Amino acid sequence: MSRFVHVSHSKLMKLAKTINFTKKDVVSSLKILDESIIAGNSNFVPILQVECGPETSEVVKNLTEKQTLTSKKSAQDHYIPAYKHIVTVTPVSKDIWKYLIGFYPDDISSSHSSMYITTLGNLFPINVVTKVLLDEWQLLQVESEVSQLKDQRINHYWRQFFSKYPCLATLVKAYLSLSHGSADVELGFSLSGRLLADHRATMSSRMLDAKWTIL
């Protein structure tokens, strides 16, 4: 089982809202992760009014106004592309991403988790019987209360339920196999580049596959 999308939608929403160069009413009204709050300068507060954390404020107070302006402008120039990166390079669609938190062991017994799971079932490209899925989920909610594996890796936690809840197992295995980023792909390109060096330029694709298998 590959990596799970470890950073949940709610945690990224919280991270996005820490971008403190936007007007407070804009940030407080943020409902979905998109580029709307950085779409125009009208959403930004004047640079000198940008709020800093206590440690940064301690440093900034010893700077001249020009130095303060320069440092805050540099911070803004960093956070704008950082936020844009968060909302544009996610490996799954936002509709799916938002509800993946339902798979977290601590969230299973919550009142909204049933809605999350049925939504994920409806978004699933393979037909899932919603009634069966909900029945299994409700049984799981009772059983998860006494589970002793909540603090273990998420795939280890779910493995104990796969044989009991086949419909749910299909859904969980599919979604937990989603990569949470492009690191594995980039690593693959890097390793291929090392294997297919200049002195191996005539290597066949079959031999390259064989070497990959060994790795």
Comparing 9 with 73, which gets the higher pLDDT?
73
Instruction: List the chain domain ranges.
Output: 9-88, 94-176, 183-214
Name the band, by pLDDT with cuts 50, 70 and 90, for residue 43.
confident
Residue spans of alpha helices (H) in the chain: 9-16, 24-28, 54-60, 65-88, 94-99, 113-123, 130-144, 154-159, 166-176, 183-195, 205-214
Most confident of 31-35, 138-142, 193-197, 203-207: 138-142
Whole-angstrom distance, CA of residue 114 vs CA of residue 208: 46
Query: What is the model's pLDDT at position 47?
Result: 81
Query: What is the model's pLDDT at position 3?
Result: 41
* Beta-bridge partner residues of 22: 44
Which amino acid is located at 118 in the chain?
A: T
Most confident of 107-111, 151-155, 199-203: 107-111
Which pLDDT tens digit goes with each residue over 173-187?
888 776 655 556 666
For residue 21, the SS3 value is coil
Which pLDDT tens digit goes with each residue over 61-115?
888 888 888 888 888 888 888 777 777 766 555 667 778 878 888 788 888 889 9
pTM of the model: 0.52
Whole-angstrom distance, CA of residue 22 vs CA of residue 41: 9
DSSP string for 45-102: PPGGG----HHHHHHHTTS-HHHHHHHHHHHHHHHHHHHHHHHH--SS-HHHHHHGGG
- Lowest average pLDDT, out of 7-11, 73-77, 116-120, goes to 7-11
Query: What is the model's pLDDT at position 149?
Result: 60
User: Which phi and psi (to 5°) does residue 61 adopt?
Assistant: -65, -15
Name the band, by pLDDT with cuts 50, 70 and 90, for residue 19.
low
Q: What is the rounded end-to-end Cα distance, in angstroms, of the chain?
A: 18
- Are 167 and 132 a contacting pair, CB within 8 Å? yes
Q: What percent of the chain has pLDDT over 90?
A: 7
